[in-house]
Amino acid sequence: DVRAIDWNVTARMNHPFIKKFVEERELTVMLVVDLSGSGLFGSGEQSKRELAAEIASVLAFSAIRNNDKVGLVLFSDEVEKFIPPRKGRRHVLRVIREILFFEPKRHGTDLPGALHFVSRMLPHKSVVVVLSDFLEARAPVRFGSRTSHIAPLPAAEPLAPATQVALRQAHRRHDLVAVQITDRYELEMPALGRLVLKDAETGEVVEINTGNARQRAAFFEQQTLFQNSLRRAFRTMGIDSIQLRTDQPYSAALGKFFDTREKRRRRG
């Protein structure tokens, strides 16, 4: 098309220079934030829920700077808050305010329900960012002579079947991103002697002896297997995922993660 020729550049280069037009499409970013009871845990200055809120706020501001729409779903074992995606600074400030200060009524987890809700609310393909610890699934774990359900499922099944189905369905319709929020003490048990642990979602209480080196080693091995299996599950489903911890800076890792995604998207 002769209209695409840049005549000024053509004159300087002595050969035809064709302008290439790249369409910049407006994106819709939906932040899906887990407010279940397990997010209240934190071994340092910040709980998992506080870190998730901070990261979600950063992503919301980033979306607005890119002139994208941003929306919000806050969920426990039900969808507790929904803000439809819109543009604008006032809108994003409302989103951030809800992320930071909303108090959930319930403590359980229903990620499949939240994902089904998102699919109903978003008729067009969107970027859906799920911020969660992904600990909604439980299985019995033995601590000495006691059996507890507080630890995650074994590595062979890091996510409940219903969650896997919901993730696959959501990813077929949208660009799904999983941001896993975790804490160092969920990965490595501290040597603090006898502790009484309470599951923030079920209320179950169990006493364990963290002074036992064998139990600490078994816990670390189990959690390592779980984390590796979870990453593998996301990779198998084609879902981009990143793990962020409450005790570590996240800015560089998060920036690199989304830069890599953007470069891959531009390559097509």
Backbone angles phi, psi at 27, to 5 degrees: -100, 155
Q: How confident is the model at residue 207 (pLDDT cuts 50, 70, 90)?
A: confident
Q: How confident is the model at residue 195 (pLDDT cuts 50, 70, 90)?
A: confident
The per-residue pLDDT of the chain, averaged, comes to: 85
Average pLDDT over residues 217-236: 92
Locate the domains of the chain by residue range.
26-267
Long-range contacts of 38-42 (CB under 8 A, 24+ apart): 38/109, 38/133, 38/135, 38/199, 38/200, 38/201, 39/133, 39/181, 40/200, 41/183, 41/185, 41/186, 41/200, 42/183, 42/246
* Residue 216, Ramachandran bin (φ over 0: left; ψ between -120 and 50: alpha; else beta): alpha
Least Cα distance to 70 among 133, 134, 122 occurs for: 122
- The answer to whether 83 and 29 are in contact (CB under 8 A) is no
Average pLDDT over residues 233-251: 96
- What does DSSP say about strands 205-209 and 146-148: parallel, antiparallel, or unpaired? unpaired
Q: How confident is the model at residue 20 (pLDDT cuts 50, 70, 90)?
A: low
Q: Which residue has the tokens 């630890």?
A: 151
Distance CA 100, CA 172 (A): 30
State the SS3 of 144-202: CCEEECCCECCCCCCCCHHHHHHHHHHHHHCEEEEEEEECHHHHCCCCCCEEEEECCCC
DSSP 3-state of 236: helix
Range with lowest mean pLDDT among 38-47, 128-137, 197-206, 235-244: 197-206
User: In the prediction, which pLDDT does 25 show?
Assistant: 63
DSSP annotation of 2: G
- Percent of the chain at pLDDT above 90? 61
Q: Which residue has the tokens 């189990």?
A: 222
Range with lowest mean pLDDT among 77-81, 170-174, 206-210, 241-245: 206-210
Average pLDDT over residues 168-177: 97
CATH superfamily of 26-267: von Willebrand factor, type A domain (3.40.50.410)
- The answer to whether 241 and 177 are in contact (CB under 8 A) is yes
User: In the prediction, which pLDDT does 8 show?
Assistant: 59
pLDDT at 13 over 60: no
